A and B are shown apart, each in its own frame.
Chain A
Amino acid sequence: GNSVTQMEGPVTLSEEAFLTINCTYTATGYPSLFWYVQYPGEGLQLLLKATKADDKGSNKGFEATYRKETTSFHLEKGSVQVSDSAVYFCALTNTNAGKSTFGDGTTLTVKP
């Protein structure tokens, strides 16, 4: 079956530091890959996505590249802000197969 593994948190950074959150996956076929962000007490917001190998998803300064050879989709940002403090989830969906499989989330805290 499908699975997603995220680096364990929590992650604490100073403002303007470089961020990497690792995500690797196991899936049949050719899944689409996603990063979602969840702020306290809220639902998940789509941050970025990539639908095929070597695609790069980007949004709000965050980037992730779909690496089929390493089955990875690591999230990066060059300079984090306090407002980026949240829980980040990596997820995959098999094309046309419906349900998504999520990692356990990584909590990011950015200090001024």
Chain B
Amino acid sequence: DTGVSQDPRHKITKRGQNVTFRCDPISEHNRLYWYRQTLGQGPEFLTYFQNEAQLEKSRLLSDRFSAERPKGSFSTLEIQRTEQGDSAMYLCASSSGLAGVPDTQYFGPGTRLTVL
């Protein structure tokens, strides 16, 4: 059983460019989450999916951010027109999402984004 994987691990881009990150969850996990973590802070929730449905989006997720999970398996997070304030670690997590079962999220290694 492989864990959650994310690609790329590091991304350096120039302000104004678009970037896309990929997350592959633990197989058969129904739920997939995206978080953002800045230095010295805990992860902040961005959005999550139950299968292919995006069920919740944080107010942190501006119009420049979009996430998809087209087939209920892997997910992508795209940031358009990046700004220096977008520099952070982007973490993906997955969980089984079974009804009535306390949800435990398992995290990937993260993608560190640096916007110059």
Binding site for B on A (CB under 8 A): 4, 32, 34, 36, 42-46, 49, 51, 89, 91, 93, 95-105
Contacts and interface: CB of A to CB of B under 8 A. Distances in A.
Contact of B41 (A34, A97, A105): A105
Given A42-B110, A43-B91, A43-B109, A96 B42 contact: no
B107 A99 contact: no
Shortest 5 CB-CB distances between A and B: which pairs?
A102-B42, A51-B102, A99-B45, A44-B107, A43-B107
Given A98-B48, A99-B45, A102-B43, A43 B110 contact: yes
Contact of B104 (A4, A34, A42): A34
Given A44-B107, A104-B41, 4 more contacts: A43-B109, A49-B102, A97-B103, A100-B43
Contact of A104 (B4, B42, B55, B99): B42
Contacts of A93: 102-103, 105
B103 A42 contact: no
A42 B109 contact: yes
A11 B4 CA distance: 30
A89 B91 CA distance: 14
Residue of B6, B41, B43 most packed against chain A (CB within 10 A): B43
A32 B45 contact: no
Interface string B88-103: 0001010000011011
Contact of B40 (A4, A45, A91, A105): A105
